[in-house]
Structure 1
Amino acid sequence: MIKILVVDDHAIVRDGLKRLLVDTPDMVVADEASNGEEVINKVGNNDYDLVLLDISLPGRDGLDVLKQLKCTNPQIPVLILSMYPEEHYAVRSLRAGASGYLTKQNSSDELIGAIRKVAQGR
């Protein structure tokens, strides 16, 4: 079972992701966060298999959160899920330590496949 921390500042997006993933037998949304500080605190106190992280967050943006996560918890895989096209943030995200990058325009099947690959270290 892949335990996922879903991070997005929009509750409707988090709810949609939870509804999608609840129907996926090998995945569970273990928790959710709406801002960068919540992410840092929750990852430090829990055992997630993957963080599904939005780039655009209030306060600390997703890239800043990603960099801190990789300093404090380098082993945790982070999959970026963003509304921004790949050419804007993908390379920067991967250089900062993300295990993968998807846009919110990708299909549900592509997201589920990416979560599996990232959780397996591929």
Structure 2
Amino acid sequence: MISENPELAGLHKDRPIRVGVADEHKVVREALRHLLLAHEDMLFVGEASTGFEALRLVDDTAMDVLILELAMPGQSGLDVLASLRARAPSLYLLVFSGYPEDRYARKAFKAGAHGFVSKACDPVELMAALRRIAAGNRYVSAPLALQLAREIGDRDVHPDQRLSKREFQVLLALAAGKKASAIGRQLNISAKTVTLYRARLLRKLGLKTNTDLTLFAFERNLLSDD
């Protein structure tokens, strides 16, 4: 199973994970700053209170992960997500929101988020999500994975058991958030071939997007939580 993106393995071993925070409420930003400062492997690098400030913060500050609330004054948090993905493709985005996870997590993932954590979560879960995302993986909470499992429905024969070895390898890599070019190098095939495998996987599993592949893999415990 894949627990870490090899291209990013060791990236944070010699320095803390640089984290920015974008949230309308100062009390939340301060709480997150103190939480991050309490962990030696985390470094708080800046904050923003609006979508516009979040975009400027990312432009002006080197960071690995941005914690972002969807409820932002002015520009929608989902629009901010899409803008950040376009202008900072190497930045990892963790949504930390008071919005209902069952209603907004899918939208956030489709807009470019790498993880979604409810503000009702335990701080331990938030730190785990940050570390997982900073390692090049995606984060889906257990309740959301369970909900999606119910939506997908149980089958007598799990679809992943009908995949070829190469299809299964591509499934795991895509679910871990890797790009086609990186998967191609790992498996010694072209990026175009990876794209063909992706289309075949979506068709076989009855899914539509890479986010669906990630959630499918989480539901079946195909990705390690380490």
Q: Tell me the TM-score range normalised by the shorter chain.
A: over 0.9
Counterpart secondary structure, 1:63: helix
CA distance in 2, matches of 1:8, 1:42: 12
Q: Which AA in structure 2 matches 1:13?
A: V
Distance 2:108 2:117 in 1: 11
Task: Report the secondary structure of 2:96's partner residue.
Answer: strand
SS of 2:132's partner is: helix
Aligned to 1:56: 71
In the alignment, structure 1 residue 40 sits paired with structure 2 residue 40: no
Structure 1 residue ranges, 4+ long, deviating more than 4 angstroms after superposition: none
Distance 1:47 1:86 in 2: 29
Instruction: Report which structure shows greater RCO (CA 8 Å, sep ≥6).
Output: 1
The alignment covers a number of residue pairs equal to: 122
Is 1:117 the counterpart of 2:132 in the alignment? yes
**Identity value in percent:** 38
* C-alpha distance in structure 2 between counterparts of 1:3 and 1:61, whole Å: 24
After superposition, the CA RMSD in angstroms is 0.7
Compute the displacement of 1:41 (Å): 1.0
Matching residue's letter, 2:34: R
Give, in whole Å, the separation in 1 of the partners of 2:121 and 2:57: 27
Distance in 2, matches of 1:100 and 1:78, equals 7
Structure 2's unaligned 5+ residue stretches are 1-15, 138-226
User: TM-score w.r.t. structure 1 length?
Assistant: 0.97
Match of 1:6 in 2: 21
